[in-house]
Amino acid sequence: MTRPMELPERKSAAQFQLLIDATQSVLAGMFVRHAPADRELAAFYRADRRCGSRDRAFINDSVFLLLRHWGWARKLAGERLILELENGKAALSRRDAGAMLFFALACGGSAPEKLETAARVIGADAVRDIAALPRRERAAKAAEALNIPMTFDENELLPDWARPLLPANFCGRMPVRPPMWLRVRKNALARVQEELTARGIVCTAVPEFPEALAVDAPSINLSTLESFSRGDFEVQDLASQGIVRFSSPRPKERWFDPCAGAGGKTLALAEAMAGTGIVVAGDVREKVLVELRRRANRAKYPDIMVRRHDGRPWRGLNPFDGVLVDAPCSCSGVWRRAPWSPWMTHREDIPRFAERQLEILRNFSRCVKPGGRLVYATCSAFRQENEEVVEKFLAADPGFRLAELNNPFTKTPCGGYMHTPDTFDCDIMFAAGMERTK
């Protein structure tokens, strides 16, 4: 007769075996096909019908946990294998993938039953009572259970080339994903909070941004909420909201967002002007503009005009009161949300981004009227993509100067440069505010 606990144990073990399969597929996608991990996971689920909703949730959480600790987990496999793997010349064995997953689950303080299942599947010693330990000690305990004793440093969580170019505390923030942030429309905050609470969604406000809510909704699709259908809120990170507030759009102004993407900042600009201004949003990609149009219609913003362009300055447009150049970048400021990105980005990518950013900034600065404002923004933490681009632009164009603006997070003067303070649990973004003098 089957013992009562055998079936759940077998199911847990089968789920961990499925996780190993998914991990092997994701790592091959990253390092061989150069594909983002989230895209590889979606492809894995389409190809493997064994995955139910709970399996997918467990696999998503575990794979992302491994990638957040990849800088540590890669040490377990040895330098030679890792170099071959990350250069697309080798595949990770099931044994090594299982060991790395066990290690990552321990680093993340996962539930004891998940750790015990993982240890049993890979034949490792169990690790118990580690949830209260600091992350580095949890990592050391897991490595010891794998008979690979070693120590760990938070600086190892990112590639060697990136660490000297990033803020001092950047590595320590990497293992923890920031929350999902909402930007709530004026006069809708109470009913949005009421609906979120009724659905069991924990939401937290911050005094500096009364219209922002941090939400913990791991298993609920926010698009199913009535308040979403009404256009009461948009999913937008707090740092992105800060960029728009830093831009200081005023009622009845005309703004141009030439790198609009799916339109998060476009919608926020329109909201900041309370429907009294005009926002022209453009991008070189028609696909993202389709999403922008859909979002603008849902939010009932008739004052948004959407146009595709080829990246060069538009002709025939009257100059704008403000231009927000949200330039494409390395996205290092959002690496916590996309933990595979540090290992798919290379040192030589950064100057290429900076060169293109300067070109875009020069092209669209011509659309600013005298006395108008030019805001350059990135979601990068690298100075070469931020201050250095602005410095080169200002040196070549005496018609612009840095504006005297306040950082919306600290409410203090910032000399024209805005950085997201690390005291806020959100992405890292940069902005420079300039004004046209002639």
Catalytically annotated residue among 171, 329, 379, 426 = 379
Helix ranges restricted to H, 32-131: 37-47, 53-68, 70-73, 79-86, 94-107, 112-122
Burial of 9 (0-12, 13-18, 19+ CB in 10 A): middle
Phi, psi of 140 (to 5 degrees): -65, -40
Containing H/E element for 389?
Answer: helix 387-396
- DSSP string spanning 201-242? -EEEEETTEEEEEEEE-TT--GGGSHHHHTT-EEE--HHHHH
* Cα 160 to Cα 164: distance, rounded to the nearest angstrom: 8
Token code pair at residue 97: 């993938």
Token code pair at residue 242: 């800060």
**Angle at CA of residue 248, ends 228 and 380, nearest 5°:** 75
Please state whether 214 falls in left (phi above 0), alpha (psi between -120 and 50) or beta.
Answer: beta
Q: Are 322 and 373 in contact (CB under 8 A)?
A: yes
* Beta pairing partners, 279: 255, 304
Whose CA is closest to 430, among 269, 242, 149? 242
171 is annotated as an active-site residue: no
Which three-class secondary structure state does DSSP give residue 294? Answer: helix
Whose CA is closest to 345, among 80, 70, 79, 91? 70
Burial of 119 (0-12, 13-18, 19+ CB in 10 A): buried
Q: Which residues are catalytic?
A: 379
